[in-house]
Amino acid sequence: DTEVTQTPKHLVMGMTNKKSLKCEQHMGHRAMYWYKQKAKKPPELMFVYSYEKLSINESVPSRFSPECPNSSLLNLHLHALQPEDSALYLCASSQEQAAGQTGELFFGEGSRLTVL
Amino acid sequence: GENVEQHPSTLSVQEGDSAVIKCTYSDSASNYFPWYKQELGKGPQLIIDIRSNVGEKKDQRIAVTLNKTAKHFSLHITETQPEDSAVYFCAASEGGSTLGRLYFGRGTQLTVWP
A42 CB within 8 Å of a chain B CB: yes
Q: Cβ neighbours of residue B62 under 8 Å, at least 6 residues apart?
A: B47, B48, B75, B76, B77, B78
Instruction: List beta partners, residue A92.
Output: A33, A107
Confidence category of residue A107, pLDDT binned at 50, 70, 90: very high
The backbone torsions φ and ψ at residue A85, rounded to the nearest 5 degrees and listed phi first, read: -80, -5
- B108 within 8 A of B87, measured Cβ to Cβ: yes
Over 80: is that where the pLDDT of A19 sits? yes
Q: Which of A59, A62, A115, A68 has its CA nearest to residue A88? A: A115
Write down the pLDDT at residue B106: 97
Residues in chain B closer than 8 A to A42 (CB atoms) = 89, 104-107
Over 90: is that where the pLDDT of B91 sits? yes
Instruction: List beta partners, residue A6.
Output: A23
Average pLDDT over residues A25-42: 93
Instruction: List beta partners, residue A93.
Output: A32, A106
Write down the pLDDT at residue A97: 61
Inter-chain touch B43–A90, beta carbons under 8 Å: yes
Task: Give B79-89 pLDDT, tens digit per residue.
Answer: 999 999 999 99
Q: Dihedral of CA B62/A92/A7/A87: which sign?
A: negative
Lowest mean pLDDT among A37-46, B31-40, B95-104: B95-104
CA A45 to chain centre: 9
Dist. CA B4–CA B48, nearest whole Å:
17
Residues in chain B closer than 8 A to A23 (CB atoms) = none
Inter-chain touch A101–B43, beta carbons under 8 Å: no
Distances (CA, A) of B11 to B7, B16, B60, B84, B111: 9, 14, 21, 12, 6
Distances (CA, A) of B29 to A107, B34, B71: 25, 15, 10
Over 90: is that where the pLDDT of B101 sits? no
Write down the pLDDT at residue B70: 94
Task: Give B3-42 pLDDT, tens digit per residue.
Answer: 999 999 999 999 999 999 999 999 988 888 999 999 998 9
A28 CB within 8 Å of a chain B CB: no
